[in-house]
Amino acid sequence: MVALRRYTPDMAGVWDGFVDASRNGTFILRRGFMDYHADRFADRSLLAMKGGAVMALLPANLVREADGRLRLCSHGGLTYGGLVLPPRHVDATDVLDIFRLITGYCREEGISVLDYKPIPDIYAAMPSEEDRYALFRLGARMEVCNLSCAIDLRHNPGFNTRQRRNLRRALGYGPVYGEVRGGEVRGGGVNDEMSGGRQDSTLNEFYGMLCACLAERHDARPVHALEELELLKRRFPQHIRIHTCADSDGIQAGICVFDTGRVAHCQYIASTAQGRDRGLLTALFHHLITEVYASRVYFDFGTSNEDSGRILNPGLYAQKSALGGSGVLYPRFILDIK
C-alpha cells in the first residue's frame, strides 16, 4: 500500500538522493536550497512511500490564511515545487493514487486548499505531466499562468537582425566577460589584458547593479537578499553562477544563472544605462548561449508577466524572443479540498 510520510530533517539524505536520481527534479528542490528560508516557510513536505521505498516527493509548506484557513503550497518559497518522480515504476495510475492520498491528508489536517506549482516541462529529463492530469481529474483550476521565453539549444534559431546589429556594436567596445567566484570576478573574454582589472569586483557590485536596475526599470527588488544569494551560491557553486560583462569603464551588465545541467535559467538580469546603450547585455547573452551553456538543452530567459500572468510585458518578451526564445509556461493550480 502507498502511504504518505511527513518529511523530517533526518531524511535530508534520502530526499536529496531521490531528487538527484529523479526524472524531473532540480537542485532547487534539494534540502540545502529549500531550507535556506525555513524561518519564513513552515515546511510540510511529504514523501509517498511503498514498501519502505520512496515513490515520489512533494516539496511543500503550510500557510494559514487571514481567514484562518490552511493552505498547502508546493512550494511558496520556490519558483516551482511539484511532484518529484522517479525515472521508472511510477505511472499515471500511481500519481492519481498519490494525489488522492494528498487530498485525504489535507482533509485530516484541516487543510482547505492545495496550491500547486508543477515543475515546468523543460526541466524534466523525461515527460512528467501525470500530475497535471491528476489535477484535472480532481477538478483543479489554473490560478496563475506566467509565460517564460526559452531557447531550445538543439534547434537554436539565433538572434534576429536587430540583435545581431546590437552584438556587432557591443563587440566594438571590446567587452570583457567575467564570472563571480568566491566573491570575486575572474576575468576572460574578448580583451584579456583588461581581465586583471576585474579581479576586485565582487558579488556586492553585481548585486548593487541589480538593485539599481530593478528599482529604475521595474520598481522592484531582488527576491533574494544579498546574504541569501551569497549563502546559496556558496552551497551550490556549480549551479548558481554570476556572469558579467565589462567595458573600459567597468562592469556594465550581469546575469545570475541557475544551472540545472539541463536548463540554464536566468534568475537575475541587470545592466547599467551605459551597458544598455552599448548593447553589452546582448554580448553577454551571446557569450553564455554560444559558449558557456552551449551544451545545455534549454536557455531560459525567465517570465515577463505581472498580475499572475494576466499582464504580459510585450517589450520585455519581444527582447527575449529576438534572442531566439519561444514560450514556456510556468503555471500554478488551485485545488479546493472538499
Q: Which pLDDT tens digit goes with each residue over 38-55?
A: 889 999 999 999 988 999
Quote the CA–CA distance of 274 and 27 in Å, as a whole number.
35
Q: Is the pLDDT of residue 59 over 60?
A: yes
Quote the CA–CA distance of 65 and 223 in Å, as a whole number.
22
Quote the CA–CA distance of 328 and 314 in Å, as a whole number.
15
Distance, first Cα to last Cα, the chain: 24
Give mean pLDDT, residues 204-226.
91
Q: What does the pLDDT read at residue 220?
A: 85
HEC string of 116-183 equals ECCCCHHHCCCCCCHHHHHHHHHCCEEEEEEEEEEEEHHHCCCCCHHHHHHHHHHHCCCCEEEEEECC
The CA dihedral of 16, 22, 27, 33, to the nearest 10 degrees, is -40
Query: How many CB atoms neighbour CB 92 within 10 A?
Result: 13
Give mean pLDDT, residues 91-97.
96
What Cα–Cα distance (Å) separates residue 53 from each residue in 2, 69, 89? 10, 33, 11
Query: How many CB atoms neighbour CB 192 within 10 A?
Result: 11
Q: What does the pLDDT read at residue 168?
A: 97
Q: Which pLDDT tens digit goes with each residue over 218-234?
A: 888 999 999 999 999 99
Q: Is the pLDDT of residue 190 over 50?
A: no
pLDDT band for 37, please (50, 70, 90 cuts).
Answer: confident
Residue for cell digits 541557475? 258
The CA dihedral of 13, 19, 22, 27, to the nearest 10 degrees, is -140
Q: Which pLDDT tens digit goes with each residue over 102-154?
A: 999 999 999 999 999 999 999 999 999 999 999 999 999 999 999 999 999 99
| Mean pLDDT estimate for the chain | 92
Quote the CA–CA distance of 240 and 261 in Å, as a whole number.
11
Contacts of 172 (CB under 8 A, 6+ apart): none
pLDDT band for 194, please (50, 70, 90 cuts).
Answer: very low
Residue 244: strand pairing partners: 178, 254
Beginning with the edge strand found earlier in the chain, give each strand of the sheet holding 326-336 in spatial order: 42-43, 61-64, 70-74, 111-116, 326-336, 141-152, 298-303, 263-271, 250-259, 240-247, 176-181, 184-186
Q: What does the pLDDT read at residue 323?
A: 97
Quote the CA–CA distance of 133 and 103 in Å, as a whole number.
15
Percent of the chain with pLDDT over 70: 94
pTM more than 0.75: yes
Q: What does the pLDDT read at residue 189?
A: 46
Q: What does the pLDDT read at residue 186?
A: 58
Quote the CA–CA distance of 221 and 232 in Å, as a whole number.
18
Contacts of 296 (CB under 8 A, 6+ apart): 153, 259, 261, 262, 263, 264
Q: Is the pLDDT of residue 239 over 60?
A: yes
User: With contact defined as beta carbons under 8 Å apart, do 320 and 303 qualify?
Assistant: no
Q: What does the pLDDT read at residue 200?
A: 36
Any idea what DSSP says for residue 41? S
Q: Which pLDDT tens digit goes with each residue over 172-181?
A: 999 999 999 7
